Structure 1
Amino acid sequence: MIKYKIFLFLFFVSLSFAQVVHKKKASLLGSPFEITVIAKDTIIGNKYCNLAIDEVKRVENLISDWIPSSQISKVNQNAGINPVKVNDEVFNLVERALKISELTKGAFDISYASMDRIWKFDGSMKKMPTETEIRKSVERVGYQKIILNSSEKTIFLKEKGMKLGLGGIGQGYIADKIKVLLQEKGCKSGIVNVSGDINTWGYQLDGNPWTVAIVNPLNKNKVFATFPLIDNAVETSGNYEKYVTFNGKRYSHIIDPRTGYPASGIISVSVFAKQTEIADAIATGVFVLGVEVGMDLINQINGIECIIIDDKGGIHYSKNIDIKSK
């Protein structure tokens, strides 16, 4: 009887430490979304996943320029008219975005949404826009024309027709918010993927780090390296699916907001950082800056690493990257 009781006790103790992997996929922000968590059971795992999805929707309703009632849409609607008061969360995100604009000398710019959409990447474009059309398309773009009032928490766009678009930083920000939220709710380990913006915390069920695979877009079936993510984030920007070709030159769907011309020379950028928000914005900036200037920028920033694949298939690594080759 005593041995039986001891056995039951040990059995229930082992159950108390049992954990499961719980996953959920959804289509959010117009893109694929996936959350994986380690939880005590599927009920709690499902609760964590639903909290993550609710957080996506909450932030989207604050910052999406496609939702007319969002705070960012209100700013856009009042461009050239009045400053708009926003909450601390939105104000601080825009403020951080402007700092990255300064760091990248405008290669990343949340006023990119002010551009005239003269480039088409759906197969309908038969000739290049003229130089005049390209130059005019970015006349209203310029992060310097975004005026913040920190005491009033207002945002003002100086010119009519200007628009903010947080697509180049917002998804990364959401991934960070989900990570913090779930950690606060007791989730010890997970990985969130917001349309390629990936953030991790804790370890997998077998005790190994969460790991991402890096592929060369010119040979998608082959993984050339894996990268363990220990409480870390990664974001990949690519033009290997949306581009046009004129006179033998490939033009990316990622437009240089300073010139109006599509970025060229790079087909994929993967940036690793502690925060997905930073990785997201920096990846866009590097894509526009090009291999040499972009990598030089990365090598000057502590805690950020990068892998660039150029349009010839060449692979470039930042100086401190630690990668496991396959």
Structure 2
Amino acid sequence: MKFKNTILMSLILFSFCCTGQEVMRKRTTLLMGSRFDITIVAQDSLTAETRINETIAEITRIENLISDWKSDSQVSEVNQNAGIRAVKVDKEVFDLTKRAIAISKMTNGAFDISFAAMEKVWKFDGSMTEIPTPEQIKKSVEKVGYKNIVLDSIQSTIFLQLPGMKIGFGSIGKGYAADKAREVMEAKGIKAGIVNASGDLTTWGKQPNGKAWTIGITNPFDTEKFVKIVPLKSEAVTTSGDYEKFVELNGKRYSHIINPITGYPATGLVSVTVFGPSAEMANGFSTSLIVLGKESGLQLINQYPEYSCMMITDKGKIFKSKKFKR
């Protein structure tokens, strides 16, 4: 058995420099259970540091609302009352859940926020020595199914119909937080910056030297190298891939990205990078495309002209959506 679990950024930022009166400050911190790298360009150091503090406060606020690992969050209350009663939540939480269900519908269930209820029959901590049985896999997804989530927009409530169901925002939640942090910073007059939530990244403006922010898309077969270097406009980028965490059993590689319908690991694609206006939506796409595979994935994203993607297959081949013009 071979196991790999490395903490690395699929999107690695290149060198920055400061010119003129503008300064740039960067801080790395742990939020929402993940690494966040926050970069702010401002007129002076004090403003930059203050704005970074405000960015962290905004992300923390969102974490306290939607983190299913915090027992007192609204999402945890929803999960604790699965099969019992509907739970009233803030409009922000309701709307995020509604958008997540919309992604589930457009991907035919390849993305599903009720995936949080899946039993962990696949282990990616080095302990798994044999493949789960078909019965175990089938049972593991019994509580998964976005169609069993009932929303009441009048009462602003969420009800999970099946006892034991759970919703979680471990995927699009970080993208949403990055989007909101950028929104807050732009409202406060910060004209350039980056919020990178472990690969769910949003950028706006330019570096202090006037050049575009630049990212490298990691080569999944040699993580010290890049398959492509891309200058960014004001946009979001997310990458999903199995090269960060997978297990090999009997000579076959199994991704940590699980198909929420079948309970089996996704196959065929080892990396998908999505570009678009929203990190939340881009993450929904990147996760879904890994599950859907090349053909169905390209067919889906080509229907949304604001988004584009680059896929890397397990054979090392690269495919791009129609709108990928980089």
TM-score (norm 1): 0.92
Cα offsets for 1:38-92 (capped at 9, x unmatched): 1011000001111111111110000000000000000000000000000010000
Deviation at 1:220, TM superposition (A): 2.0
Give the one of 78, 91, 106 matched to 1:75: 78
Corresponding residue number in structure 2 for 1:127: 130
Corresponding residue number in structure 1 for 2:54: 51
Corresponding residue number in structure 2 for 1:206: 209
Give the one of 273, 287, 292 matched to 1:289: 292
**Helix, strand or coil for the counterpart of 1:50?**
helix
Corresponding residue number in structure 1 for 2:196: 193
Corresponding residue number in structure 2 for 1:250: 253
Please give the alpha-carbon distance, in whole angstroms, between the structure 2 residues aligned to 1:229 and 1:96. 26
Cα offsets for 1:25-46 (capped at 9, x unmatched): 1122222111111101100000
> What does 1:213-252 correspond to in 2, within 5 Å?
213-252=216-255
> What does 1:278-317 correspond to in 2, within 5 Å?
278-317=281-320
Give the one of 85, 99, 104 matched to 2:102: 99
Deviates more, 1:244-253 or 1:30-39: 244-253
Contact preservation (8 Å) 2:111, 2:260 = yes
Number of matched pairs: 307
Corresponding residue number in structure 2 for 1:265: 268
RMSD value, Cα: 1.0
**Helix, strand or coil for the counterpart of 1:128?**
coil
Deviation at 1:247, TM superposition (A): 3.5
Cα offsets for 1:163-185 (capped at 9, x unmatched): 00111110000000000000111
Contact preservation (8 Å) 2:305, 2:323 = no
Q: Is 2:159 the partner of 1:156?
A: yes
> What does 1:59-70 correspond to in 2, within 5 Å?
59-70=62-73
TM-score (norm 2): 0.92
Deviation at 1:246, TM superposition (A): 2.9
Which structure's residues are more often helix, by fraction?
A: 1
Deviation at 1:203, TM superposition (A): 1.0
Corresponding residue number in structure 1 for 2:10: none
Please give the alpha-carbon distance, in whole angstroms, between the structure 2 residues aligned to 1:225 and 1:245. 27
Please give the alpha-carbon distance, in whole angstroms, between the structure 2 residues aligned to 1:268 and 1:253. 12
**Helix, strand or coil for the counterpart of 2:100?**
helix
Deviation at 1:227, TM superposition (A): 1.6
Letter in 2 for 1:237: S
Deviation at 1:129, TM superposition (A): 0.7
Please give the alpha-carbon distance, in whole angstroms, between the structure 1 residues aligned to 2:30 and 2:73. 20
* Higher RCO (Cα < 8 Å, 6 or more apart): 2
Corresponding residue number in structure 1 for 2:170: 167
Structure number with greater Rg is 1
